[in-house]
Amino acid sequence: MKSKFTILLIVSVVAIITMSSLSGSINEKKEQKVALSQTPEIDGEKQYKNDEWERYYPRQYSSWLKTKESGEILDLLEAYPQLPILWAGYGFAKDYNAPRGHYYAIQSNTNSLRTGAPVDDKTGPMPTACWTCKSPDVGRLIERDGENEFFTGKWARYGSEIKNSIGCANCHNNVTAELRVNVPHLNRGLQAAGLKTFEESTHQEKRSLVCATCHSEYYFKKTKYTDANGKEQVAKVVTYPWADGLHAEGMEKYYDRVGHTDFVNKISKTPVLKTQHPGYEMHMTGIHGQKGVACADCHMPYTQEGSVKYSDHQLQNPLNTMDRSCMPCHRESEDKLRGIVHQKYVRKTQLHIVAMDNLAKAHLETAKAMEVGATDAELKSVRQEIRTGQWKWDYAVASHGAFFHAPEEVLRNLSLANEHAMQARIQLVGLLAKYGVMNYAAPDFSDKALSQKLAGLDFDKMVDAKLEFKRTLEKEWIRIADANGTYNSKAFPGTDIESAFSKEVNGEQVKR
Ligand code: HEC
Ligand code: HEC
Ligand code: HEC
Ligand code: HEC
């Protein structure tokens, strides 16, 4: 009798607990459903402001906001002092840092010494195209002004219009929240390569293609057109060089075919191609890309919060989220897998540094050959070797994560880069000997200050000009954007001075 009663008691207690927890989760689910079935009223201009999305999608918004946590500046010119030699005569020799969280995209771009110190909307040095992968506002302006018009003029022209950092409207439709791309160049690139457009692609493919809008190789294609006032103009339109294949060889062939050169190296007079960041292309050649794993699978893992499952929008290094990013597919321990990734990094770095050293020496030895009388005709094949070698080296490393995304392709390109650099240097030994120079040793470029000097740069002057710009024109841009209602600067604190030079001024920016 007693035991029957006990069983009955236990059963009913269990039933009560189960039912109450069930109704709790039903209520929670109902709340979720109501929230999600409300059609977001993020219409028109509002959709470009990230803070407007918060009330409809609080979890995605708050995780997106956390990209702020990755704000540290890693000065790559300091880490790799060969770089100012390789990029002498080009903006990257001035300032180049490792990528940070999406929260900072506008600030990184505005603070970079590469974008200079414009004094009004017509002064340079950079074109409007430099905003392209920084903000959802770019889609708004292309729609408003037309694509060619948007890609005409100087970067400063849109300083007060482009303030919202990479966000919701870059990747989502403002009414349905479905994945979308809000700029025309991705589909044009895919079509030139004979691939499916974004809209024709599968859902899983779209989970990578939204990233390919920015994490890809591109150049600014000079495009002639007649503007609304009947004036002849030249636009610099962001274009993917994909028509001859999505690999280093195909893109080099394309650039040679259309006669494109990004800059002429100031030290060696080599016509150089600067790789941007072929992250998507590299990923597609790696094992994860080939097995259909998408960028979002690792960088935006699903997260469970009560009964709600959502995509983590804190885009970051997936080694910080291995339990959710890797473990759904892998059986090894996290430590073991982390060790394998680290090993790939070490292997890449060894060849990476050898390639940069050889390329930098090739530039400096070419300068010596020029100094003692070697002609352009004699240096033609040397410069061709340097151009190809530098392109392959840059292609291998410029997207930052490729040593993991596609390790074989990285090592292949770095080996070829070394081969081309050494071919140039062997020819240079002969050429220098012809002009009576034996055993020439290139000048010391072992730290950033030395190599920026060799590249003819005056660091202090650039910093002073940038700080003046930040005190004046940049403040005006923020004031105008707030007043026009296209930006809400109060919602995004902590985006001001941090840069590779901020530690030099250390809060004394007004004094300088
Ligand atoms: C860089 C591109 C990108 C940005 C920026 C972005 N998202 Fe997403 N978002 C994605 C991807 C990829 C998914 C996964 C979609 C899928 O598989 O259906 C996603 C999923 C979602 C979903 C569907 C539910 C879920 O969590 O899987 C919502 C809602 C959403 N995002 C809202 C936002 C909001 C709000 C913002 C701005 C704060 C934002 N997203 C910014 C790429 C982005
Ligand atoms: C609108 C252009 C754009 C889109 C779309 C975009 N990115 Fe980015 N991404 C950037 C830029 C620019 C940076 C560098 C920001 C900086 O340094 O201030 C960056 C940085 C990153 C970083 C480095 C973050 C860190 O904390 O170090 C990762 C990882 C990343 N992106 C992954 C992705 C993935 C995955 C997607 C697609 C789901 C994506 N991005 C979509 C432009 C974009
Ligand atoms: C299989 C998982 C995985 C996939 C898929 C993946 N990544 Fe990564 N990604 C990583 C890991 C791990 C790292 C970090 C390596 C490191 O630096 O330790 C990384 C690094 C990066 C970085 C450099 C971040 C930095 O601060 O240096 C960027 C940018 C990036 N990935 C973008 C992408 C894009 C874009 C795609 C799709 C085209 C993609 N990733 C696909 C795992 C992945
Ligand atoms: C959606 C599933 C999936 C996810 C998520 C995933 N992987 Fe993989 N990974 C694979 C597949 C599939 C292979 C290919 C090997 C195979 O088929 O067994 C692979 C192979 C690898 C390899 C060996 C290949 C090589 O390049 O040496 C490493 C290392 C690896 N993954 C690390 C990671 C890490 C680290 C993460 C998280 C940041 C991750 N993977 C996330 C599916 C995944």
CB of 246 sitting under 6 A from ligand 3: no
Whether residue 187 is found in the same domain as residue 247: yes
Is the pLDDT confidence value at 73 over 80?
Answer: yes
| 143 and 123 within one domain | yes
Q: What is the pTM of this model?
A: 0.93
Residue 17's pLDDT is what? 46
> Are 214 and 107 found together in one domain?
yes
CATH assignment at residue 346: 1.20.140.10
Q: Do 203 and 267 fall into the same domain? A: no
Distance CA 507, CA 364 (A): 37
Residue 490 CB neighbours (<10 A)? 8
Q: What is the pLDDT of residues 120-173, one digit of tens each?
A: 999 989 999 999 999 999 999 999 999 999 999 999 999 999 999 999 999 999
Q: Is the pLDDT reported for residue 105 higher than 90?
A: yes
**Secondary structure of residue 302 in the 3-state scheme:** strand
So what's the pLDDT on residue 229?
94
Separation of CA 80 and ligand 4 centre (Å): 30
The pLDDT score that the predictor gives to residue 36 is 53
pLDDT band at 504 (very low <50, low <70, confident <90, very high): low
Are residues 268 and 130 both part of a single domain?
Answer: no
Are 238 and 151 in contact, with CB atoms under 8 Å apart? Answer: yes
pLDDT value at 60 more than 80: yes
Q: How confident is the model at residue 494 (pLDDT cuts 50, 70, 90)?
A: confident
Ligand 2 in reach of 206 Cβ (< 6 A): no
Closest CA to 270 of 89, 81, 451, 454: 89
Nearest CA to ligand 3 atom 16: 401
* CA 348 to ligand 1 center in whole angstroms: 32
Q: Which of 34, 33, 69, 40 is CA-nearest to residue 54?
A: 40
User: What is the SS3 assignment for 234?
Assistant: strand
For residue 15, the model assigns a pLDDT of 47
Question: Residue 24 domain-assigned?
Answer: no
H-helix or E-strand containing 20? Answer: helix 2-37
> What is the domain-level CATH number for residue 131?
1.10.1130.10
Which is it for the CA torsion 311, 316, 320, 326, positive or negative?
Answer: positive
Tokens read off for 337: 């897998």
* Cβ of 212 below 6 Å from ligand 1: no
Instruction: Tell me the two tokens of residue 198.
Output: 């974004």
Structural domain includes residue 7: no
| 414 neighbors 393 (Cβ within 8 angstroms) | yes
- CA nearest neighbour of 219 among 258, 268, 162, 266: 258
CA distance 235 to 127: 9
| Structural domain of 343 | 263-274+331-457
- Is 469 domain-assigned? yes
Residue 219: per-residue pLDDT:
97
Per-residue DSSP letter, 213 = T
Tell me if 317 is assigned to some domain. Answer: yes
Based on the domain organization, do 309 and 340 belong to the same domain?
Answer: no
With respect to residue 289, please indicate whether it lies within any of the assigned structural domains: no
What is the 316 CA–ligand 1 centroid distance (Å)? 14
Cis check: omega of the bond before 118, within 30 degrees of 0: no
Identify whether residues 368 and 478 lie together within a single domain: no
- Given a cut of 50, whether residue 509 has pLDDT beyond it is no
Q: Which ligand is nearest to the CA of 64?
A: 1
- Binned at pLDDT 50, 70 and 90, residue 91 comes out as very high
Q: Does residue 58 register a pLDDT over 60?
A: yes
- Residue 306: count of CB within 10 angstroms of its CB: 10
The secondary structure of 98-137 as a DSSP string is: ----GGGHHHHHHHSGGG---SSTT--SSBGGGGTTT-TH
Assess contact for 53 and 175: CB atoms under 8 A.
no
Q: Tell whether 387 and 305 lie within a shared domain.
A: no
390 and 475 share a domain?
A: no
* pLDDT score at 19: 44
Taking each helix axis as running N to C, give the angle between helix 459-471 and helix 473-484, from 0 to 180 degrees, rounded to the nearest 10. 30
Whether residue 137 lies inside any domain: the answer is yes
Instruction: Map tokens 């219009």 to a residue.
Output: 161
What are the distances in angstroms from CA 148 to CA 134, 232, 467?
A: 18, 12, 32
DSSP 8-state secondary structure symbol assigned to residue 112: S
Residues 236 and 319 in one domain: yes
Which pLDDT band holds residue 301 (cuts at 50, 70, 90)? very high
Region 92-118 average pLDDT: 96
CA-angle at 292, arms to 289 and 298, nearest 5°: 70
Residue 214 near ligand 2, beta carbon < 6 Å: yes
What pLDDT shows up at residue 42?
81
pLDDT of residue 114: 96
For residue 169, what are its two tokens?
A: 């409207």
pLDDT digits (tens, 9 = 90+) for 274-295: 999 999 999 999 999 999 999 9
DSSP H helices, 398-512, are 402-405, 407-434, 448-454, 459-471, 473-484, 502-505
Q: Tell me the mean pLDDT in the region 441-450.
A: 97
- Cβ–ligand 4 contact at 321 (below 6 Å): no
* DSSP assignments along 129-182, one per residue: GGGTTT-THHHHHHHHH-HHHHTSSBGGGGTTT--S-S-HHHHB-TTT--B---
* Confidence band for 371, pLDDT divided at 50, 70 and 90: very high
Give the list of residues 6+ apart from residue 322 with CB closer than 8 angstroms, or none. Answer: 334, 337, 338
Number of domains in the chain: 2
31 lies in some domain: no
**pLDDT tens figures, 16-56:** 444 444 444 445 545 554 455 556 678 778 999 999 999 99
Which of 57, 66, 182 has most ligand 1 atoms within 8 Å of its beta carbon, as the pocket-test mutant?
57
How far is 91 from 88, CA to CA, in rounded Å? Answer: 8
- Report pLDDT for 124: 85
Q: 355 φ, ψ to 5°?
A: -65, -45
Domain check: are 304 and 269 in the same one?
no
Mean of all residue pLDDT scores within the chain: 91
Residue 408 exposed, middle or buried by CB count within 10 Å (0-12, 13-18, 19+): exposed
For residues 406 and 282, is the Cβ–Cβ distance under 8 A?
A: yes
Residue nearest to atom 22 of ligand 3 (CA): 401
The pLDDT tens digits for 460-479 are 999 999 999 999 999 999 99
User: What is the reported pLDDT for 148?
Assistant: 97
| Cβ–ligand 2 contact at 295 (below 6 Å) | yes
Residue 283 lies in a domain: no
Residue 508 has pLDDT above 80, yes or no: no
Using an 8 Å Cβ cutoff, are 150 and 15 in contact?
no
Q: Are residues 354 and 384 in the same domain?
A: yes
Summarize pLDDT for 397-420 with one digit per residue, the tens.
Answer: 999 999 999 999 999 999 999 999
Distance of CA 227 to the CA centre of its chain: 31
What pLDDT is stored for residue 496 in this prediction? 72
